[in-house]
C-alpha cells in the first residue's frame, strides 16, 4: 500500500503538467518576439525609446505580488485561512495595479507623441507595445485565476483545503513575474 502512495506522490498532477506545457509555449512565443525585436532594431528608422519610470514601479509591484502569492500558499498549507485569503486578495490587487501602472507607462509614451500607428509611429514602439501588451494579457489571466481562487476561498460553503489550484496559480504567477523581469531588462538594455 505504501508503494502505491509513494508512486502517486512522484507523479505530476495533470493540471500542473498542462501548465508546464503552456509555459513552454509562452516562452517560445516571447523568445520569438524578442528575437524579432533584435533583428528589426538594426533598421535605420529604429528609435531608441527611454523606458518610463512607471515601468520601474510596475516591476516592483509584480515582484511584491510574487512574495504575497508565495506567502498565501504557505498560509494555506498551514491552514491559516484568514491570512491565506488576505494574501490572495493582496496578490490579485497587486496584479491589477501592475496592469494599471503599465497602462500609465504607455500613456507617458503618448504624452511624448510616440504613436503605435500613423504620424509619430515607429516599429520600436510597436514592438514594445505588442510584447508588453501580450505580457499584460497573460498577467490578466493570472489575476482572473487568483480572483476565482479567492472567491472560492471566501465562500463559506466551500471547505476544500487542496493546495493544488493555488500551487498552479502561484507557479504561473511566478512565471509571469520572471517573464516581466526578463522583458524589463531586455527593453532597458536593448533600447
What is the pLDDT confidence band of residue 24, given thresholds at 50, 70 and 90? very high
Exposure class string for 23-37: b at 16+ Cβ within 10 A, else e:
eeebeeebeeebeeb
Cell of 131: 510584447
Domains of the chain from N-terminus onward? 10-189 (1.20.120.80)
**Percent of the chain at pLDDT exceeding 90:** 54
Can you read off the three cell numbers belonging to residue 61?
Answer: 509591484
Predicted TM-score of the model (pTM): 0.86
Residue 78 cell numbers, joined: 498551514
For 91, the grid coordinates are 496578490
In the predicted model, what is the mean pLDDT of the chain?
Answer: 87
Residue position matching grid coordinates 518610463: 52
C-alpha to C-alpha distances, 21 to 46, 119, 159, 165, nearest whole angstrom: 35, 41, 30, 17
What's the pLDDT at 159? 65
Cα–Cα separations (whole angstroms), residue 130 to 49, 106, 123, 173: 15, 11, 10, 20
**pLDDT digit string (tens) for 140-149?**
999 999 889 8
- Residues near 118 by beta carbon (within 8 Å), at least 6 away in sequence: none
Residue among 83, 97, 77, 85 at smallest CA distance from 143: 97
Q: What is the pLDDT of residue 154?
A: 79
Residue 126: the pLDDT is 85
Confidence of residue 5 (pLDDT cuts 50, 70, 90): low
**pLDDT at 163 (0 to 100):** 83
Q: Which residues contact 142 (CB under 8 A, 6 or more apart)?
A: 95, 169, 172, 173, 176
More confident site: 186 or 7: 186
Q: Give 98-130 pLDDT, tens digit per residue.
A: 999 999 998 888 787 777 677 767 788 888 889
pLDDT in tens, 64-92: 999 999 999 999 999 898 899 899 999 99
| pLDDT (tens digit per residue) in 25-39 | 999 999 999 999 999
In the chain, the percentage of residues whose pLDDT exceeds 70 is 91
Amino acid at each position: 500500500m505504501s508503494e502505491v502512495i509513494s508512486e502517486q506522490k512522484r507523479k505530476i498532477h495533470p493540471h500542473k503538467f498542462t501548465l508546464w506545457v503552456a509555459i513552454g509555449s509562452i516562452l517560445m512565443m516571447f523568445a520569438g518576439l524578442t528575437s524579432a525585436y533584435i533583428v528589426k532594431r538594426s533598421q535605420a528608422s529604429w528609435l531608441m525609446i527611454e523606458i518610463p519610470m512607471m515601468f520601474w514601479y510596475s516591476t516592483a509591484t509584480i515582484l511584491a505580488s510574487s512574495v504575497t502569492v508565495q506567502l498565501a500558499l504557505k498560509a494555506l498549507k498551514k491552514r491559516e485561512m484568514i491570512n491565506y485569503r488576505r494574501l490572495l486578495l493582496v496578490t490579485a490587487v497587486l496584479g491589477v495595479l501592475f496592469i494599471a501602472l503599465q497602462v500609465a507607462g504607455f500613456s507617458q509614451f503618448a504624452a511624448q507623441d510616440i504613436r503605435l500607428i500613423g504620424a509619430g509611429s515607429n516599429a520600436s514602439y510597436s514592438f514594445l507595445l505588442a510584447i508588453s501588451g501580450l505580457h499584460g494579457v497573460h498577467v490578466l489571466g493570472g489575476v482572473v485565476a487568483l480572483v476565482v481562487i479567492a472567491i472560492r476561498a471566501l465562500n463559506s460553503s466551500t471547505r476544500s483545503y487542496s493546495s493544488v489550484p493555488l500551487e498552479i496559480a502561484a507557479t504561473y504567477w511566478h512565471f509571469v513575474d520572471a517573464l516581466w523581469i526578463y522583458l524589463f531588462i531586455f527593453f532597458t538594455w536593448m533600447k
